[in-house]
A and B are shown apart, each in its own frame.
Chain A
Amino acid sequence: MKKIIKNTPAYLCGLSLLALAACSDNNATNTEVTLKFLPQIAGEDFTCQGDYNGMGNGPLRTYRAADFRWFISDVSLRNAIGESVPVRLDTDDSGLVYQNAEHNVALLGQIDGCSGADEAPRLEVSGVAKGKNFTQACFALGVPFALNHLDASSNDTPSPLNIPAMNWFWRGGHKFLKIDGFGEVQANQAGTAFNFHLGSTGCSNAGGTDGMGEGKDQPPAQECTFPNTPTYCFDLAALEAGTAITIDPARVAEATDLGFNTEGTAPGCMSFMNDPECADIVPKYGLDYMLNGEMLPAQTGVLFALESDS
């Protein structure tokens, strides 16, 4: 009884005794999945204010990390012929998982951003999908459009979509990824601020784009030109065997000097168009990137990787 309740989401079970029998049947034909994440910097486990080697291609390749958190969404399982079934995530009272009929979202990593609130890191998400014989687990980095532009201050906006630090700017959507730190850093110095932020860009509303200009207080009327929500899929058998999914900015920054920032652009690559520091990084998330009118095509996304492969 306890096992059934634990392993099967309530929405499948209904309320009656009859439904419990159905529940057992469902249990036999459902698939549970747990995604275990491991935030790393250049192959070493992330810690707040930790110093790392092997980041970027500058002369020192050093990095000091000061924040590391990200959203995933639309977790699903796929079978061998590419059919996709959504995962119903297990919820708890942490406020870090939200789902409705269409979407699921989870905030992961260093939830308090290394800043003193003592929130524990969140590194796991689990759930269940209807059906068997799946081969892959998939998720998107980021927040889907339908949830991305909710007003973070509204009473109606659920946690974790109401967390100020992951709010990009006034109604402009959420930061999907927030890794902050300093590149080419030396002991007792600041180094060069080099942050990895990702969010949707080219979002237009009544009078402007990207939440700027007149009409900025209105959410975008249509999907952004660059949603920037790359999908990653991993071998389900490996995940079921307990293999973690690493998330490591060193893999996207391997050809970028983290000690340099073009004046007048964001410090690091914060995903806005036309930032030279993003030219090699954003495509390695698995995303197209627009640099001064030239479209740099998406490459295979390498931000996430199975621990056994990384």
Chain B
Amino acid sequence: MNRLALIAALLAPFVGAGLAGCGGSGGGGTAKGTPYVFDLPAGFPSPRISPDNPITVEKVALGRHLFYDKRMSINQEGSCASCHEQRKAFTDGRKTSLGPTGDTHPRNAMSLTNVVYNTRQNWANPTLRNLESQALAVMFNVDPVELGWTDHEDEILARFAADPVYQGLFAAAYPDADNPYQLLNVVDAIASFGATLISGRAPLDRDAVNASVRRGEDLFNSERLECFHCHGAFNFAQSVQGEHSVVDTTEYKNNGLYNIAGPGPGLPLEAGNFPTANQGLYEFTGVASDMGRFRAPTLRNIALTAPYMHDGSIATLREVVVDHYSRAGRVITDGPYAGDGAQSPYKDPLVQGFVLDDQELADLLAFFDALTDWDFICNPAFSDPFGNIPMHENCP
């Protein structure tokens, strides 16, 4: 019950009384089954798995089905996979995501590559500490509506209870439950599937790269470009943890993407504002220096996750490097977002700009390409069990 209370508290800002009906026996925690054994890439730490949700082969199988099933949305028009396609490293290719009910999300869909290692999920929500809470947030969000579960839990759960395929999957995942069709069982299964999405066998990891990639890697790790400070270590991201981590290493950074003058409606600060409704950590803390701070995402499979940034406002990696980071922040010359991000008072001091010649730029982009893990992108274990979502054209 503690866990339910915690989740209810977590959801309180955007869920009404809808959770009242979802308690009862069989939720989470006690599942028997076949322990899932991670096949970890070299150099990857053991992932941290919630003791409340031990990962089993059966829960992963159920979660994979639910992840790809459009019955997970209130109007049966979209699933988790609608915004997280394997062929795009579990993103959707859109600037900002479109929910099944037609609501536009203010932010770009994040890759699910290695999400189990994130100290926080989401671009800048410091309350989402694990995959279970992230799944709940997507299911119950009302502004915008994503999967639309709020006030419709029983209706959606009944769809699965009536399907013989899911009767088998739920019974296998939760063999002790009298009634396994519980909200938290759905959440735990999706979180379990998400935890298996581990990518660490890219050409760079396998040393199957040419000299250009190696030069690009040296540039990436150099004190000229400073990329590695926010995109370092095994996941090319800073806010990561493994099973044995102790200290909370979450870091949110302002990379100088916007610098809108204010104050004005939706623009609370004199300088450094980000566009309304996309102001990052500031939306949670109200602290000026948190304006525009977002979690630096993993760069693994980054070549497949265009467009880039929290709002999808940069189309290509070349533009990310040339138009944004090389000048220490993006300049927008006119319109409502006009301003020079390089001059934002809240920008991180490690975004300082650099000059690259054409060969160096090509090397850096080759390095990004070498982070694409085709074993991951083409892994059938992560693919759509219903066969509706196509695989990447490069997959066998």
Contact = CB atoms under 8 A, between A and B. Distances in A.
Contact of B243 (A107, A155, A164, A268): A155
Contacts of B253: 115
Nearest to B234: A153
A102 to B, nearest CB: 21
B46 interface: yes
Given A113-B251, A116-B290, A151-B43, A94 B349 contact: no
Nearest to A213: B218
Interface of B: 43-46, 119, 126, 214, 217-218, 221-224, 226, 228-229, 232-234, 237-240, 242-253, 256, 270-272, 281, 285, 288-290, 293, 328-329, 342-352, 354-355
Most chain A CB within 10 A, of B232, B293, B354, is at B232
A42 interface: no
A267 B250 contact: no
A170 B228 contact: yes
B374 to A, nearest CB: 21
Nearest first, the 8 closest Cβ-Cβ pairs linking A and B are A95-B246, A115-B251, A266-B223, A188-B271, A267-B352, A49-B289, A159-B246, A153-B234
Main secondary structure on A side of the interface with B: loop
Interface stretch (A6-14, A138-146, A221-229, A257-265): A257-265
Interface stretch (A27-35, A75-83, A189-197, A296-304): A189-197
B228 A190 contact: no
Interface centre among A49, A180, A193, A216 (most CB of B within 10 A): A193
A163 B249 contact: yes
26 contacts: A94-B246, A95-B247, A96-B247, A111-B247, A113-B251, A115-B251, A116-B251, A116-B252, A151-B43, A153-B43, A153-B233, A153-B242, A155-B46, A155-B244, A159-B246, A162-B244, A164-B239, A165-B229, A165-B238, A188-B272, A193-B349, A212-B221, A213-B214, A216-B217, A263-B355, A265-B224
Contacts of A114: 289
Given A117-B248, A167-B233, 17 more contacts: A48-B289, A67-B349, A115-B252, A115-B293, A116-B285, A118-B126, A119-B248, A153-B43, A153-B233, A165-B229, A170-B233, A180-B349, A211-B221, A212-B218, A266-B223, A267-B349, A268-B349
Nearest to B289: A49
Contacts of B44: 153
A235 interface: no
Nearest to B342: A190
A168 B290 CA distance: 25
B288 to A, nearest CB: 8
B350 A188 contact: no
Interface of A: 48-49, 64, 66-67, 93-96, 107, 111-119, 151-155, 158-160, 162-165, 167, 169-170, 172, 180-182, 185, 187-190, 193-195, 211-214, 216, 261, 263-268, 270, 272, 275
Contacts of B289: 48-49, 66, 114
A107 B285 CA distance: 26
Nearest to A169: B221
B281 A116 contact: yes
A67 B44 CA distance: 27
A245 B150 CA distance: 55
A169 B249 contact: no
Contacts of A261: 352
Contacts of A190: 256, 329, 342-345, 347
